Amino acid sequence: MPIPERIVIETRRTVIQPATAVDAPYIHNLWTDPRVMRFVGFPYGLRMTRDEIEERIRRQPPTDPDTLLIATHRDTGARIGQCKLGTPGVEGISEPDIKLHPTSWGFGFGTEIWSALIDALFRQTACQTVQGTPHVANTASIRMQQRSGMACVGHGVFQFPPRMRCWTRPVPHEIRRITREAWTRRAPTAATHDV
């Protein structure tokens, strides 16, 4: 199942497409915001410069599932957050990612975008299972994944390498999954399509 020439995903309220160099400052603000990053093990934000983010964006192909994507509001064009699909591993498991700006919290954008990412993975790639690992204290992320049909299949704790432990924290998390078969049966509520 080939990825289209350029990843573009549309939902009822959003458009999701590859980040460009002009998005680097926005992504940097997200990745260095403790409110956004605390549940993924970076209580002080990610140690990455704008220049490093811009260089990553310049190198990424617009068809790669690991490409950084920007979600914008369909009507206003305002940025809502950053996400990615996630390349399926050898077992066919993909782990998408989503980081919403705090000003976009509480409006249902997370569930809408997350469901669109799941749908795109199953339609555009060889992904057989989508997996999420929300922090056990991140009730908003857990609810978002529940609403997208993902079931808890276990728990774990992610530990960063010793060299990173002075500025990171372990991440106790749920393991949530949905299979291609379960997604197909579910008839997703998010109206998504690719352009």
- The single-letter code of the amino acid at 114 is W
Residue 1 lies in a domain: no
- Name the 3-class secondary structure at 186: helix
- Parallel, antiparallel or unpaired: strands 9-10 and 93-94: unpaired
Q: What is the CATH number of the domain that holds 172?
A: 3.40.630.30
Residue 193 lies in a domain: no
- Name the 3-class secondary structure at 80: strand
Token code pair at residue 63: 């068809």
144 is in which domain, residue-wise?
A: 9-186
Provide the whole-model pTM: 0.91
Please list the helix, strand and coil fractions of the chain in percent, rounded to the nearest 5, in that order.
Answer: 35, 25, 40
Residue 76 lies in a domain: yes
Our count of domains for the chain comes to 1
Model pLDDT for residues 161-188, shown as the tens digit of each residue:
999 999 999 999 999 999 999 999 986 4
Q: Rounded CA gap, 29 and 82, in Å?
A: 11
Which pLDDT tens digits describe the chain residue by residue (195 residues)? 444 557 789 999 999 999 999 999 999 999 999 999 999 999 999 999 999 999 999 999 888 999 999 999 999 999 999 999 999 999 999 999 999 999 999 999 999 999 999 999 999 999 999 999 999 999 999 999 999 999 999 999 999 999 999 999 999 999 999 999 999 998 644 444 443
56-to-35, 94, 161 alpha-carbon distances in Å: 23, 21, 22
